[in-house]
Chains A and B, each alone.
Chain A
């Protein structure tokens, strides 16, 4: 073991990145009972878009543009691939989601030619800083702080605003929500917009620490975020956040050990299997929700 403050910081930072992705999974599941397999690919697409945007415009414009573009992609996926299947069996929607995932990956493959694209260095957050005697990129510190701020804002939105109340209502009962005059399609779109927005922020933070984007870059963080959401109890936002930090930190602690470092990814999936066997509803999950 050569566990250092570096690993802990990296773990917290990875946790924040996973959390931002995991919220998108958990919110969509909460409202549609759908595992949005395309979510990790939206995250990757967000990374690629900024690579191409920065060839055409300065970074201070590229960042807001990429956030808007990612949100639009999330919105469009729901409208084109999920909304027409609203009354179809859940399995059909899931297959549609897998289709969208492959579509995005293949589009990315076509556009990039399969070559890893160098992610632009974002000044300030890519700078090095010293913290507790360890030298790290500033993004490592910014990530968990920004994540927590966004999570608190989201929780406030869901608890105290009218649209948040509508989201909670729609997640329980489509039909009765309609009887209240709620336009459920609008609420579902809002959920995808929020999820994609957070994925766009997560993408900025994640790729700033990893520096290159490939068409399959979304797969691993997407999968880990999904495990985090299941671990925390899919459908629960606090659950997804806690799950993400647990996975991020544990993974980096394992990486610090010379003997076990190659098992850091295996850990995450072992965790998934254990949770599914021992407590399928996750730590914060409701007892009654049925799983896909």
Chain B
């Protein structure tokens, strides 16, 4: 299979401080790829620059062979890349239904089927479609954030720590959904602190450390890697 996303020598700096130091990695189409690393490693910055929210210093981001770096966020969404931001960021003053509709903001076609699809993934959201998103529980907000990112009919969904602050059972549910949407053909680029779960679902994985990619391999390989075990899985050598 081909690479849907190719990151080449991407650098991002904030006011002179280099947060990402020329990283390169590929995301194969139809796969789940995960990026793990400790706090401040530059994982969110990577996703945010792919989404066009943060300007990169240099490098290339090839999506389906086309450089999308430097495009505006709306053009990137139009190409089929969406981001579930860290900390959910649902619109608290919009209803659940409106949050989903706004996920399809750029689409001109009928979104009724997509709504049904998201509701079938998250029946809880259907029950609460008229509730203001700000009043949802953390887990429900995360479901909404994921559902909202699917409403644009993306080819690639990037998720920034979807398990953040959620109970284990809810985390399991989110990971089940990640597997399910991936089976249905959506490529997933996942950032996680929960390295154990992320590596289990991932086809391939990269470890980031202070703005650089230090390790890569299949999910299973990294799961067995001694360094990874010690640093991210909390296991002693």
Assess the A181–B92 pair: CB atoms within 8 A. no
Among A18-26, A132-140, A167-175, A268-276, which stretch is in contact with chain B? Answer: A167-175
Interface: B66 (CB within 8 A): no
- Which of chain A's residues 177-223 have a Cβ closer than 8 Å to chain B? 178-183
Q: Which residue on chain A has the smallest CB distance to residue B99?
A: A169
Q: Which residue on chain B has the smallest CB distance to residue A169?
A: B91
Output the least CB separation between B68 and chain A (Å). Answer: 13
Assess the A169–B83 pair: CB atoms within 8 A. no
Q: Which of A165, A171, A175, A183 contacts B102 (CB 8 A)?
A: A165
Query: With A165-B98, A168-B93, A173-B91 as given contacts, are A178 and B105 in contact (CB-CB < 8 Å)?
Result: no
- Which of chain B's residues 61-89 have a Cβ closer than 8 Å to chain A? 72-74, 77-78, 82-83, 85, 89
A180 contacts across to B, CB distance below 8 A: 77, 102-103, 105-106, 148, 152
Assess the B91–A178 pair: CB atoms within 8 A. no
Which residue of B78, B102, B106 has the most chain A CB atoms within 10 A of its CB atom?
B102
Bound form: Cα–Cα A176–B84 in Å: 9
Query: With A176-B85, A178-B74, A181-B74 as given contacts, are A162 and B93 in contact (CB-CB < 8 Å)?
Result: no
Q: Which of A162, A165, A168, A179 contacts B51 (CB 8 A)?
A: A179
Bound form: Cα–Cα A165–B133 in Å: 14
Bound form: Cα–Cα A183–B152 in Å: 15
Interface: A50 (CB within 8 A): no
Query: With A178-B53, A179-B53, A179-B85 as given contacts, are A168 and B91 in contact (CB-CB < 8 Å)?
Result: yes
Assess the B92–A172 pair: CB atoms within 8 A. yes
Assess the B73–A179 pair: CB atoms within 8 A. yes
Q: Which residue on chain B has the smallest CB distance to residue A286?
A: B93
Query: Interface readout for A24-53 with B: 1 if CB under 8 Å, 0 if not?
Result: 000000000000000000000000000000
Assess the B105–A181 pair: CB atoms within 8 A. yes
Assess the B89–A178 pair: CB atoms within 8 A. no
Output the least CB separation between B45 and chain A (Å). Answer: 13
Assess the A165–B94 pair: CB atoms within 8 A. yes
B77 contacts across to A, CB distance below 8 A: 179-181
Q: Which residue on chain B has the smallest CB distance to residue A288?
A: B92
Interface size class on chain A is 10 to 19
Interface: B179 (CB within 8 A): no
Q: Which residue on chain A has the smallest CB distance to residue B88?
A: A176
Interface: A250 (CB within 8 A): no
Query: Interface readout for B82-118 with A: 1 if CB under 8 Å, 0 if not?
Result: 1101000101111000100111011000000000000
Q: Which of B52, B78, B101, B152 contacts A165 (CB 8 A)?
A: B101
Query: With A181-B73, A181-B74, A181-B77 as given contacts, are A176 and B105 in contact (CB-CB < 8 Å)?
Result: no
Bound form: Cα–Cα A22–B173 in Å: 48
Output the least CB separation between A187 and chain B (Å). Answer: 11
Interface size class on chain B is 20 to 34
A179 contacts across to B, CB distance below 8 A: 51, 53, 73, 77, 82-83, 85
Assess the A169–B102 pair: CB atoms within 8 A. yes
Interface: A166 (CB within 8 A): yes
Assess the B53–A166 pair: CB atoms within 8 A. no
Q: Which of B89, B93, B98, B152 contacts A176 (CB 8 A)?
A: B89
- Which of chain A's residues 127-166 have a Cβ closer than 8 Å to chain B? 162, 165-166
B148 contacts across to A, CB distance below 8 A: 180
Q: Which residue on chain B has the smallest CB distance to residue A179?
A: B83
B72 contacts across to A, CB distance below 8 A: 183
B85 contacts across to A, CB distance below 8 A: 175-176, 179
Q: Which residue on chain A has the smallest CB distance to residue B149?
A: A179
Query: With A173-B89, A176-B85, A180-B105 as given contacts, are A168 and B53 in contact (CB-CB < 8 Å)?
Result: no
Q: Which residue on chain B has the smallest CB distance to residue A178?
A: B73
Bound form: Cα–Cα A178–B82 in Å: 11
The 5 closest A-B pairs by CB, nearest first: A181-B77, A181-B106, A178-B73, A181-B74, A176-B89
Residues of A within 8 A of B (CB): 162, 165-166, 168-169, 171-173, 175-176, 178-183
| A-B contact list, 26 entries, CB within 8 Å | A165-B94, A165-B98, A165-B102, A166-B102, A166-B105, A172-B92, A172-B93, A173-B91, A175-B85, A175-B89, A176-B85, A178-B73, A178-B74, A179-B53, A179-B83, A179-B85, A180-B77, A180-B102, A180-B105, A180-B106, A180-B148, A181-B73, A181-B78, A181-B105, A181-B106, A183-B72
